[in-house]
Amino acid sequence: MGHNTPQTVNGLMRHLRNNCNIQINGSYQKRQLVSYGYYHGYKGYRFFKNSNNQIAYSDFSEVVAVIEYDNNLKAALYPELMFIETAIKNIVCNESVTGLKIGTFEHVYKERMSDFPSNTKLQSKRLRLRNAVYSKLSARYIEEDGKENQMVRHFYNRGEDAPIWVVFEILYLSDLASYFECLNKSVREGILKQLSMYNSSIDTDRKLLSILLYTVKALRNAVAHNSIVFDTRFKDRKISPILKKWTEKETNIQNITLYSLLDYIIIVCCVLKRLDFSNTRARALIEKYKDENTRLQERVTSAIYDQIVQQKVDLKIAALELYLNQ
């Protein structure tokens, strides 16, 4: 059969049985294969982190268990990541205009992104940020043609600059990180203090927040676009020594490497502890993670479970709960 011939569902089931040694039978599993999709479903979940690292499935129900594990973790993370994004945007936005006479990006750029002018790397970052902000504003202006909600046009059509809160409405998480990086050191310090994330010995350049945002951005995008997250294949950078030191000191949990999804959850919980003073969000997230691990353990072989959930996870969870109860 040619490579381009579309497979029937029955053909795919045969392929899974004969070539992948995965038992799949009956109309129920057939419906599952159809609803999860062969490519999105089976193909992406065959391995852990990379395709050399195959997962030893023997029955399609195990594949479904891993898919559902992944989907449920995304569902638990999504609202928390949105909450973090909104809260940090508000704090950064407010702090960067506090004490300024004019609350526009243009003014913030002149007044609050002005230190170390001879630092060419920093200046390039600032100019790139300014370009990104203005191109987003102009794109938004064009999009709003004939629309009900004219957020950007409202100001430009009156000959005014858009206020900073409008700019923050259209910034992505990565833009927020570079916005923070471009602020004067003293302003960054003020924001870190407000978040109780200020530690001058670990974070000499006051970069912790932007490092953290860049790190979490990869998880946030994977969750928002429904990519696979259970094995952190979305990871796009090594953990920064600053973030590693800060998180380990903060939580008393050693060996934060971003190897497992739990390390990302620990970082998310550190931020939630700063933003949600009752700690209910972070506690609910870790409960959900534990429940999903238990549910997975009941539905797959111990070999598969141990490949997906690393041994040290229980120790880290216990330490994280201790930290959240402080």
Output the 3-class SS for 234-251.
CCCCCCCHHHHHHHHHHH
The pLDDT of residue 42 is 74
The pLDDT of residue 101 is 94
pLDDT in tens, 173-222: 889 999 999 999 999 999 999 999 999 999 999 999 999 999 999 999 99
The pLDDT of residue 310 is 82
Give the CA diameter of the chain.
72
How far is Cα of residue 270 from the mean position of the Cα atoms in its chain? Answer: 14
The pLDDT of residue 34 is 86
d(CA 42, CA 310): 22
Task: Give pLDDT < 50 ranges for the chain.
Answer: 1
- The secondary element (H helix, E strand) that includes residue 175 is helix 173-182
Nearest to 153 by CA among 171, 165, 140: 140
Whether pTM exceeds 0.85: yes
The pLDDT of residue 204 is 95
Nearest to 300 by CA among 72, 71, 60, 70: 60
How far is Cα of residue 26 from the mean position of the Cα atoms in its chain? Answer: 38
pLDDT in tens, 76-104: 999 999 999 999 999 999 999 999 999 99
Axis-axis angle for helices 60-97, 208-224 (nearest 10): 140
